[in-house]
Chain A
Amino acid sequence: MIRFDHVTKRYPDGTVAVDGLTLEAPTGRITVFVGPSGCGKTTSLRMVNRMIEPTSGTITIDDRDVTSLPPHELRRTIGYVIQHAGLFPHRTVIDNVATVPFLLGTDKKQARARAAELLERVGLPAHFARRYPAQLSGGQQQRVGVARALAADPPVMLMDEPFSAVDPVVREQLQDQFLQLQEELGKTIVFVTHDIDEAIKLGDQIAVMAVGGHLAQLSSPADLLARPIDAFVAGFVGRDRGYRALGFARGAALPTTPEPTVRFGERVPPGGLEEWTLVVDDTDQPQGWLRSGPSGSPPGSPIDDAALFRGGTLATQGGSLRAALDACLSSPSGRGVVVDGDGRLEGTVHLDAVTDLIASRERAEVTGGADG
């Protein structure tokens, strides 16, 4: 557990970066500091590993004051990941990852073996080990950065906008993989971002900070969306809060109905089809919708890429109500496509059924409070 106790950082010119911050980042959980620029979130993070020293107040890690160790020794016990990764351009990927074990005096061979294992864990193929950082894409570099932070198996990780500099698709992959990794490792993590969506996606606990360096609200993501404490937090959390809150809502099982399908690669049968027919591949994974009739594919025409509407999103059974609602709204047929955990078609769900689930959920939330 990392505990901030009345921590203040005031610069000589009088600027207050962090103002009396008191909070706990629980062990094994992700605590996200989020806020506009100048709110002191990065300053707060950097006071944990003493890149910045507080003006007053104390920070403890597992009840031990961070000032009780020399800074460089403290830092070797804390993983650190930053934007653009900050890899060492003159060292191979594997030696980048093994940096902290090397500093700790671990046997080189052993440190490299562990580094290779970590590279695999963060999703980099083994042959990347001998490359240099400049030969990697931004996303790959960031993976190396995460592996490097984990190399000495620190109980605590500090992450300062680690995924901000990569494109949205890669960012999402990195976030998903990070969550998966955290599930296995259970590190105590402090994560800084300016992106509220990222905070909501990754955080077990979110600390919204306001300009002037004070903590505006500390709560779970669902709670933050449902009950922003003041106008600043409401404004920062932003639009579509109700819709986004559904991302955390796990309703009862989606009531699906069987959906007739045709196979990708076949031809439209002579008798024609319904106006909208779902197309699946050989393994029953939905590929898109096929339009028949006067304005669509005539009988006998091929069912191929050119004929498909791929605009619809998929909902996973057991997933969030947000995904279910979106599957309905994005489907040209009006029927939301639901798949099982392996991506196989389970059936379709109607918008009415989803809104019913949402409505019953809303009532539960008002009376029972939100879960994480």
Chain B
Amino acid sequence: MADVAYLPGLPRMLPALLPADDNSSPWRFPQYFADHFSEVMGWLWAHTWLSVVPVIAGLIIALPIGWLASRHKWAYPPMMTVSGLLYTIPSIALFVLVPPLLGLDPLSPLQVPIALTVYSVALLVRVVADGLGSVSEETLQAATAIGYTPVGRFFTVELPIAVPVITAGLRVAVVANVSIVAVAGTIGMVNLGLLFDQGFKLSTDTPYYPPIVLGLLLCVLLALVLDLLVILLGRMLTPWRKAVRS
């Protein structure tokens, strides 16, 4: 309890956090969930797709770029700078910028997945380049000398060996996307972010917690589940790492 003393605001907030009868209590989120079940499940589903698909698209785009960066030493530093800068663009700005840049309708349902794909590419280019860079020179040389074509070598030697590094990056990208997708809720896109929007709208005189807490919980749960799936996928693709660890 010693830590509590360092949080001067907490004692004042405690009554609000404790179970109460009024509907705005944070602990009323199950009630809120039950009341809006089908609607929230729809948002959760949309949120899941928006988190996953751009990462897959991002990986497909990042593969050739990362390959270039790992292949040509001169290309690595500028590519890393550019991809780092891309990531600093605030998501809300990117959501708004994507339609005019690509000539889309301002309320196109594609603007969010496209923006998220941009973020995923920004994250994954480095990961792909580093993953491919982790393949030892001897292995590359042996693969070529043994008679692999360049394409064959990439898909059957380099890429499989880069999987552990790439899945580490995919975990970050997926989890980051779960949080960025929520931001898109505030510009009206259908996903768990709408729960926060609702919460704010309903907080007129006093804060209205249930949808906010529910949104937080579902986002965290979704992030955990997706993270776990990526870990499992990575393990499935790399039986050789497990054998070496044991």
Interface residues in chain A, defined as those with a beta carbon under 8 Å from any beta carbon in chain B: 49, 51, 72-76, 78, 80, 82-92, 99-100, 103, 131-132, 134-135, 145, 148, 158
Cα A158 to Cα B146 with chains together (Å): 11
Cα A75 to Cα B145 with chains together (Å): 6
Contacts of A148 in B (CB 8 A): 146
Contact indicator B148/A103 (Cβ below 8 Å): yes
Contact indicator A91/B240 (Cβ below 8 Å): yes
Interface size class of B (residues with CB under 8 A): 20 to 34
Contacts of A103 in B (CB 8 A): 146-148, 152
Cα A78 to Cα B144 with chains together (Å): 12
Contact indicator A76/B244 (Cβ below 8 Å): no
Residue of A49, A74, A86 contacting most chain B CB atoms (<10 Å): A86
Contact indicator A51/B141 (Cβ below 8 Å): yes
Residues 183 to 237 of chain B near chain A (Cβ within 8 Å): none
Contact indicator B161/A75 (Cβ below 8 Å): no
- Give the A-B pair count, Cβ closer than 8 A: 72
Contact indicator A90/B238 (Cβ below 8 Å): yes
| 9 residue pairs from A and B, CB less than 8 Å apart | A51-B144, A82-B138, A84-B136, A86-B138, A88-B139, A88-B142, A88-B157, A89-B161, A135-B244
Contact indicator B240/A87 (Cβ below 8 Å): no
Contact indicator B243/A72 (Cβ below 8 Å): no
CB within 8 Å for A82 and B141 given contacts A72-B147, A103-B147: yes
Q: Which of B144, B240, B243, B244 contacts A75 (CB 8 A)?
A: B144
Contact indicator B149/A87 (Cβ below 8 Å): no
Cα A132 to Cα B239 with chains together (Å): 10
Contact indicator A135/B144 (Cβ below 8 Å): no
User: What's the least CB distance linking A92 to chain B, in Å?
Assistant: 8
Q: Give B140's nearest chain A residue, CB to CB.
A: A86
Q: Give A46's nearest chain B residue, CB to CB.
A: B145
User: What's the least CB distance linking A68 to chain B, in Å?
Assistant: 16
User: What's the least CB distance linking A370 to chain B, in Å?
Assistant: 35
CB within 8 Å for A80 and B142 given contacts A72-B148, A72-B149, A75-B147: yes
CB within 8 Å for A75 and B138 given contacts A90-B161, A90-B238: no
Contact indicator B147/A100 (Cβ below 8 Å): yes
Contacts of A49 in B (CB 8 A): 145
